[in-house]
Amino acid sequence: MAERQRRRRRPPGESAAPTDSRRQTPPADPRQQARDICLRLLAVRPRTRAELATALRRRGIPDEDAVAVLERYGEVGMIDDEAFAKAWVTSRHSGRGLARGALARELRQRGVDSSAIGSALTELDPDTEATTARALVDRRLRSMSGVPAEAAFRRLVGMLARKGYSSGLAVRTVRDALAERPGDAGFAGDVDLDALSDGVVGDSTDER
């Protein structure tokens, strides 16, 4: 017993050796942190380089480490803004009926450069855009049977404008659709469509 007590005694001022749980963890490698952050984000959905750069900046990754990781991921094809833009245009046009104006705005917001945006928008030709606009109007008109032609015109032009269609295409598409609706065939000849379309303010609840 005395022997065990002698072995446990330490000279005054001498501290015990740190246990494993108390040893200081070495600082994390910022580039490995950057890789981990990017991989987690890319596992959810494709991202632009600008989106990933913003995420790394918010997590406190030094710029030089962020650039190094992003450059490497670009080289191996894990980041490809041109492919992202083309996929975005296809998906958002077919899924939401968005036109080139709205698609360009969305891509700019995600940091895609003008060259990649222009290339992606060539996938959407004017005929396809016009066909989609008419389909959107026809679908909405089916739920507007009791709405007067003038009110329907404003709502439908506003809907197309919010989706990025030009004012000219929006007015022509809605005019033609209303001309085919029973009871509204003379609408275009009875009112000033240009005056109606000027200052159309869309109600966000009309966009679906």
d(CA 159, CA 75): 41
pLDDT tens-digit series, residues 17-41: 555 545 555 567 999 999 999 999 9
Is the pLDDT assigned to residue 106 strictly greater than 70?
yes
CA dist., res. 175 & res. 99, Å (int): 19
- pTM here? 0.74
How confident is residue 206, by pLDDT bands cut at 50, 70 and 90? very low
Torsion of CA 85, 169, 187, 185, to 10 degrees: -80
- Mean pLDDT of the 60-83 span: 96
- Region 157-171: mean pLDDT is 94
CA–CA separation, 102 vs 85, rounded Å?
Answer: 13
Query: Which amino acid, one-letter code, is at 85?
Result: A
When pLDDT is cut at 50, 70 and 90, the band that residue 179 belongs to is confident
Confidence (pLDDT) at 207: 43
CA distance 82 to 55: 20
Measured distance CA(1)–CA(182) in Å, rounded: 107
Residue predicted with more confidence, 14 or 122: 122
Which two tokens mark 169? 């295409």
Cα separation, 181 vs 137, in Å, equals 12
| Distance of alpha carbon 123 from alpha carbon 50, whole angstroms | 23
Output the pLDDT for position 47.
Answer: 96
- 184, 148 Cβ separation under 8 angstroms: no
Greatest extent of the chain over all pairs of C-alpha atoms, in Å: 113
